[in-house]
Structure 1
Amino acid sequence: MTAPSADLAALAQSYGVATEFWDWQGVHTIVSAETIQRVLTALGVTVETDADVLQARDEVWLRTWRRTLPPTVVMRAGWTPWIPVHVPHGSSVRVEIALEDGGIIPVRQVDNWVAPRSVDGVETGEATFELPGDLPLGWHILHAFVEGRDEPACATVIVTPHRLELPAGLSHRRMVGLMTQVYQLRSANSYGVGDLADLADLATWGAADLGCDWVLVNPLHAAQVQAPMEASPYLPTTRRFVNPLYIRVEDIPEVGYLPSATRAAIAELSRSGQALNTGATIDRDASWTVKRAALQLVFDAGLSDRRRRAFDGFCEREGQGLVDFATWCALSDVHGDAWNEWPETLRSPGTAEVAAFREENAPAINFFRWLQWVLEDQLAATQRLAKEAGMALGVVHDLAVGVHPSGADAWGLGDALARGIDVGAPPDQFNQVGQNWSQPPWRPDRLAELGYAPYRDMLRTVLRDSGGIRVDHIIGLFRLWWIPQGLTPSEGTYVAYDHEALIGILCLEAHRAGAVVVGEDLGVVQPFAREFMKERGILGTSILWFEWKDGKPLPPEGYRELCLASVTTHDLPPTAGYLELAHVALRKELGLLTRPLEVEEAEERAAIEKVAAALAEQDLPHDPANVEEFVAALHTYLSRSPAKLLGVSVPDLVGDRRAVNQPGTDTEYPNWRVPLTGPDGELVTLEDLTALHLPARLTRSLI
């Protein structure tokens, strides 16, 4: 691969595409011309020839001058940004803001001379207007009424808080919580997969018996409706809607009114589902087959007038996005879940053929809408029960980085997602060949043109009935690693995003929900990103094994206050397994090491010994061979930090050894399908968990 020409590099930089970077070992790397060309093509820029590159470079300025208004203006409360308004030279223009609450505010023009330009043969001038600094937080519309035009030009104006203040209570004390994979919480009543009732049981037990204030869960985003269901919660079909696999059938109100024969049929299905609880791995397909049959029976029984009105209100509020998602689900039942393999006329939600399908399959589409309504109801109940039991925050949800390339969002969001590109991560210490997450990224330009509505709608669903949100790979709101399909992860490059807009909108929606925001800021991070997060009131993430300074483990007093600190994370084995170097052995087995096994093992043992020495300096138990005491000491170590949130992993509560996920792999390891097990490898049910002594000991070491 060749280096880019100076013209190609200049064009790339104007679109926020990096042409160079420094890798995890500090090596300066030049991005290849092929990578840059393919990334620019995905952004809608023609760069097939040198002449194309020159023309595109010379016309970069036309992107703004061709528009009367910028597509979206994101500002902080109190700011008074100047807005360029492009009109035929000499034409008059009047600008006003339509507020979210229905009010109208005129916008003042300021004296700012800008020379006119010829734009596509039209002499075009630029007038400047200043937005008022007293605009309320929220989503507003800017209108520009140009002389001689019948309709005004429009732009979205989003006013965000300067800083997201911490929820009540967290500002003056720390809060301890549990971190869990919901599907692992299998109880006697589960259908082989932990569900929202199991989550409610964990949360209420955690509050009442352990003194926890929150429980962080894996992303609950929806997966496919046909087998095979994607196991990874971080590769969903959509991030806006929820996986109905997590429904507890028996908790749906309509179940109590079913005829005896229907209840008997559901009971039989329930027994089939419960038989899956003893499986050595999580079998989502088998679980969903049984649960979907039971849900269909409940749906077919219908709703009372009162419940029908509530369902209709939900559908109206969720609008076209819910219709499109439910349509994709119904189409998947007929044509399979890969929309890019469907008949050509069905590959976009706006075609006449899709409209005809909706009309012909209205009951099926209504079923999938009903599932989301049931989920909303059960999620609200889970949060209510958690808080009633004593949790200050309750459930903290997780937002995945992206979506499945052939899923509902990729079908429904159109060119808001870049085509021919996968999101991933460059090589780092723990993934030395890099990672490809097989997800199409947002196109930053299209997000702005859409007024960030898809991003907002997604956030609102995740934040609804929750005490917080963890944003996986929050650095992706600053820049993302784009990998042209067919190239390796190391051959990608960074693409910049408008972090002021994306972080600001996140703060706005979290403010409205009264939620805390935790950003997973591990890995290669731009130096200013963590400072920006701190400025906006967003907590970072600190994992004990990753926190080092001057070749030694970071002392407790060195941790950030605004962070969620924990010993481990779902991308590492539970702590007992980590001490046995299970992560090194697994990466060796899967061919993910770029250094000899002996080197990796020696380095990890040395790191564990240094952590043990740090524990000794704190007068804490420090013998890694005494696993239970050592794990408790690690948590006590974190308790001496100023971190606002302290988390303990549920697998650590039971002495589990196996990692739930090995980054950089797919089917090579049973990622996201590993059930909860104890030190002996035996299955641990939710009932077993709540009867153990170790959970109370570990959480006491944090409080």
Structure 2
Amino acid sequence: MTDHALHLLAHRAGLQVDWTDANGCQQRVTDTVLRKMLAGLGHPADTPSAIEASLSALLKAHDAKHLPPLLTADLGQPLDLSNYFAAGSPCQVTLEDMHEQSLQLDAQAMLPGTLPIGYHQVTITGRAFTLAVAPARCYNLADALGTDTPRCWGLSAQLYSLRRPGDGGFGDCLALEALARSAAERGADALAISPVHAMFASDTERYSPYSPSSRLFLNSVYASPSVIFGERAVRLANEVIGQAELQQLEDLPLIDWPRAAKAKQRLFEALYRDFIHQEHPQYTDFMSFREAGGQALEHHCRFEALLETAAQRGMEADWRNWPKTWHNPYSAEVAAFAEQHADRVTYHAFCQWLIARGLERAQDAARSNGMSVGLISDLAIGADGVGSQAWSRQDELLAGFSIGAPPDRLNRAGQKWGLCAFSPEGLRRNGFRAFIEMLRASFQHAGGLRIDHVLGLQRLWLIPLDGEAGDGAYLHYPLDDLLRLLSLESVRHKAIVLGEDLGTIPEGLSEKLAARAILGLRVLQFEQHGHGQFKPILDWPDDALATSSTHDLPPLAGWLQARDIDWNQRLGLIDAISERHWRETRAKECTGLLSILEQNYHQSLPDSDAIIDACVRFIGHTRSPLVLLPLEDALGIDEQPNLPGTVSGHPNWRRRFAVNADTLLDDPDAARRLELLAQAREQAFERDQ
């Protein structure tokens, strides 16, 4: 009975006891792991009496009469409220536009599906809740392009890899703006960029864009302050840093993140001192930005100031080990700290203002030059548990767990990413506040959103912080609620949604994503029926974007040369047997790719440049509504931005292009491939009309 009760508790807490791994094998989470997972979720299960008490508490929390602060519904569909209200109850609805409506629950206690999309306040028998009415699907490419058969294309870029004179050692918003203009002139409709989430301003050793401090705010080092203050003011401020150091940083073949980020912050400090002590023409705009940011922005800026002070006092960077009085962002002690350090809090708000205005300009440049979508932002799957978002939204994030992946045949140790996830129970308790505000932040300066590991909308593999990757379990999320909120915010912001769906996809999820017009991801290297048997062009789906590679994979030139295998061998990540098998498989795959390309285009492909050209045409001819070509493949570069499974040894997130962003696409290889892609997309459109 104890095992049954434990498994029942796990089920009600959202944990999946039995699951199928990537190899199709049935697995079961051990009772030891379940007890630890449940304890971390706030449901003690170490004894039979503890299990009974936790079950009772969960039942009470999920009691049918416990009305949550927010419910979701689909446009035109009635909402079943029989768990909360009696049939025939009168309803008073205050619509989002403040108009009032009087409704009545029907004989089955269903709320009529007559309300428009939006967030509405509903009061029934004195009890109130917010109702989020969602459209049937997200804003999609057909909406953006005004055609039922969208066959558009765009580029994907690692923002930091871009280059411009005076950038200080890594790409920034001005470089992005230049690339957006150049791509738009060549017919691109979209430009997908690496994540620009807020990092840790006082810890420049952290620079992986997928391990942010907060997904609500931005990485200010990407700001280009000259767009606000002018070149002369920036030049004078840079004299504080020293032009020689800046030039040295710009000339480096790889980004020196600690030095370059610190130099950028010294520039911001110098500009801020003049800005705050003078009546600058943009001061009113800054104050409006800060007011619009509200409590969330204030909390983030306070966290940054606390982090600085903690470092100065020799304290750990992990807020969970700070003095207890600093743990609660709403505490009187934190408010007093903010008052004492008001200048530092304001400085961090100033930095957020700089980067927000820079991204806004880049998106405006993309759209005004003809892109139908413009920038596509990238939403990381989680946030660092020691960061701003975890501190400010403690009831809604699970800072005691790390997201990862269970062991499988390809990675026998499993993966532990060091990121914390949302708490399903915390989201419900707080009306999905943290999820909604994150979506709004991500859509704010973009025409599209790529959701990393979109499978996490349904379930995530979570691991206790002190456990190994295999000592975890899948935690389930309220998928339908999250998809409705995503659809609503997508339509509100007129932004498309892409979902990175590589990996083991839970049954039925692909269909739900497609029904919501969330494009999946299909990568040329993976689109095979078997090793070397690549899928024909017309076998590619029309509900996913097509691409030649991703930031975690080798570009086409590197794949053809097996550069990724070379790196894994050099760093000791694979043994000799695995290496031999991998190389044999790759050789078979290269032969298969060459075969299908030559069959399609009736020509021999004598070298890698010709093969890459054909690959670009091939994905361009698919039925995908959107093709994204990484800049690395446009240029024929053979090194990848990130090598998964490594922290050192490989220069992750540090590679830069040799040519400036405004002329990057003038490269003969890039120019030829973009023309080939544009032609292929036109041909695909004509074929599929």
Judge same fold: TM > 0.5, yes or no: yes
CA distance in 1, matches of 2:369, 2:87: 64
Which 10-residue stretch deviates more, 73-82 or 424-433?
424-433
Secondary structure in 2 matching 1:41 = helix
1:160 to 134, 139, 148: 134
Question: What is the aligned partner in structure 2 of residue 13 from structure 1?
Answer: 11
CA distance in 1, matches of 2:230, 2:178: 22
Asked whether 1:461 is paired with 2:459, we answer no
Q: Cα gap change, 1:621/1:646 in structure 2, threshold over 3 Å: closer, same or farther?
A: farther
Asked whether 1:618 is paired with 2:618, we answer no
Question: What is the aligned partner in structure 1 of residue 591 from structure 2?
Answer: 609
Q: Deviations over 1:539-582 (max 9, x none)?
A: 11110111122552111111111221011110011211111112
CA distance in 1, matches of 2:336, 2:165: 44
Secondary structure in 2 matching 1:269 = coil
Which 10-residue stretch deviates more, 341-350 or 546-555?
546-555
CA distance in 2, matches of 1:592, 1:104: 63
Secondary structure in 2 matching 1:578 = helix
Q: Deviations over 1:500-559 (max 9, x none)?
A: 111211111111111111111111111311111110111111101111225521111111
Superposition pairs of residues 206-285 of structure 1, within 5 angstroms? 206-208=183-185, 210-253=186-229, 263-267=235-239, 269=241, 271=243, 272-285=245-258
The code of the aligned residue for 1:164 comes to C
Tell me if structure 2 keeps the 8 A contact 1:635–1:701.
yes
Tell me if structure 2 keeps the 8 A contact 1:436–1:664.
no
1:291 to 264, 267, 281: 264
Q: Deviations over 1:394-440 (max 9, x none)?
A: 11111110111111111111121113210012345654532211011
Q: Cα gap change, 1:567/1:378 in structure 2, threshold over 3 Å: closer, same or farther?
A: same
CA distance in 1, matches of 2:92, 2:534: 56
Asked whether 1:99 is paired with 2:95, we answer yes
Q: Deviations over 1:259-312 (max 9, x none)?
A: xxx853435637333320222321222122222122122222236476333222
CA distance in 2, matches of 1:31, 1:485: 17
CA distance in 2, matches of 1:453, 1:158: 12
Shift of 1:340: 2.3
Superposition pairs of residues 419-434 of structure 1, within 5 angstroms? 419-427=399-407, 431-434=411-414
Asked whether 1:301 is paired with 2:299, we answer no
Asked whether 1:565 is paired with 2:563, we answer no
Question: What is the aligned partner in structure 1 of residue 428 from structure 2?
Answer: 448
The code of the aligned residue for 1:40 comes to L
Secondary structure in 2 matching 1:686 = coil
Asked whether 1:198 is paired with 2:175, we answer yes
CA distance in 2, matches of 1:580, 1:689: 24
Asked whether 1:499 is paired with 2:479, we answer yes
Tell me if structure 2 keeps the 8 A contact 1:192–1:287.
yes
CA distance in 2, matches of 1:391, 1:701: 18
Q: Deviations over 1:446-482 (max 9, x none)?
A: 1111111111111112111311111111110111111
The code of the aligned residue for 2:270 comes to L
Q: Deviations over 1:477-497 (max 9, x none)?
A: 111111122322233221111
Q: Cα gap change, 1:91/1:568 in structure 2, threshold over 3 Å: closer, same or farther?
A: closer
CA distance in 2, matches of 1:84, 1:445: 21
Tell me if structure 2 keeps the 8 A contact 1:81–1:131.
yes
Shift of 1:393: 1.2
The code of the aligned residue for 2:474 comes to Y
The code of the aligned residue for 1:545 comes to Q
CA distance in 2, matches of 1:58, 1:361: 45
Shift of 1:50: 2.2
Shift of 1:659: 1.8
Q: Cα gap change, 1:637/1:145 in structure 2, threshold over 3 Å: closer, same or farther?
A: same
Shift of 1:177: 0.7
Which 10-residue stretch deviates more, 647-656 or 213-222?
647-656
Q: Cα gap change, 1:437/1:31 in structure 2, threshold over 3 Å: closer, same or farther?
A: same
The code of the aligned residue for 2:427 comes to L
Secondary structure in 2 matching 1:140 = strand
Question: What is the aligned partner in structure 1 of residue 309 from structure 2?
Answer: 334
Asked whether 1:638 is paired with 2:619, we answer yes
Q: Deviations over 1:177-207 (max 9, x none)?
A: 1111010002222110100000011111112
Question: What is the aligned partner in structure 2 of residue 597 from structure 1?
Answer: 579
Q: Structure 2: which 5+ residue stretches go unaligned?
A: 312-316, 679-689
What TM-score, normalized to structure 1? 0.89
Superposition pairs of residues 642-653 of structure 1, within 5 angstroms? 642-653=623-634
The code of the aligned residue for 1:534 comes to A
Q: Cα gap change, 1:432/1:548 in structure 2, threshold over 3 Å: closer, same or farther?
A: farther
CA distance in 1, matches of 2:52, 2:548: 52
CA distance in 2, matches of 1:38, 1:93: 44
Question: What is the aligned partner in structure 2 of residue 40 from structure 1?
Answer: 38
Question: What is the aligned partner in structure 2 of residue 384 from structure 1?
Answer: 364
CA distance in 1, matches of 2:567, 2:95: 55
Q: Deviations over 1:73-97 (max 9, x none)?
A: 111111111214659xx99986433
Secondary structure in 2 matching 1:527 = coil
1:108 to 93, 104, 111: 104
Question: What is the aligned partner in structure 2 of residue 312 from structure 1?
Answer: 287
Tell me if structure 2 keeps the 8 A contact 1:431–1:592.
no
Higher relative contact order (CA 8 A, sep 6+): 2
RMSD: 2.5
Q: Cα gap change, 1:50/1:670 in structure 2, threshold over 3 Å: closer, same or farther?
A: farther
CA distance in 1, matches of 2:335, 2:672: 58
Q: Cα gap change, 1:557/1:131 in structure 2, threshold over 3 Å: closer, same or farther?
A: same
Q: Deviations over 1:615-652 (max 9, x none)?
A: 122135565x7111111111111122100111111112
Secondary structure in 2 matching 1:490 = coil
Identity among equivalent pairs (%): 28
Question: What is the aligned partner in structure 2 of residue 80 from structure 1?
Answer: 78
CA distance in 2, matches of 1:586, 1:211: 36
Q: Deviations over 1:36-83 (max 9, x none)?
A: 222222222121212222443466432232754133211111111121
Q: How many residues align?
A: 665
Shift of 1:101: 1.8
CA distance in 2, matches of 1:608, 1:432: 26
Question: What is the aligned partner in structure 2 of residue 118 from structure 1?
Answer: none
Tell me if structure 1 keeps the 8 A contact 2:122–2:130.
yes
Asked whether 1:174 is paired with 2:151, we answer yes
Tell me if structure 1 keeps the 8 A contact 2:286–2:353.
yes
CA distance in 1, matches of 2:408, 2:239: 50
Secondary structure in 2 matching 1:596 = helix
Which 10-residue stretch deviates more, 276-285 or 377-386?
276-285
1:30 to 11, 28, 31: 28
Secondary structure in 1 matching 2:211 = coil
CA distance in 2, matches of 1:428, 1:668: 24
The code of the aligned residue for 1:333 comes to E
Secondary structure in 1 matching 2:62 = helix
What TM-score, normalized to structure 2? 0.91
CA distance in 1, matches of 2:75, 2:40: 34
Superposition pairs of residues 391-402 of structure 1, within 5 angstroms? 391-402=371-382
Tell me if structure 1 keeps the 8 A contact 2:139–2:497.
no
CA distance in 1, matches of 2:467, 2:587: 35
Secondary structure in 1 matching 2:538 = helix
Shift of 1:384: 1.2
The code of the aligned residue for 2:137 comes to R
Secondary structure in 2 matching 1:667 = coil
Secondary structure in 1 matching 2:216 = coil
Question: What is the aligned partner in structure 2 of residue 368 from structure 1?
Answer: 348
CA distance in 1, matches of 2:84, 2:435: 27
Q: Deviations over 1:645-681 (max 9, x none)?
A: 11111112222222211222223432212233xxxxx
Tell me if structure 1 keeps the 8 A contact 2:541–2:623.
yes
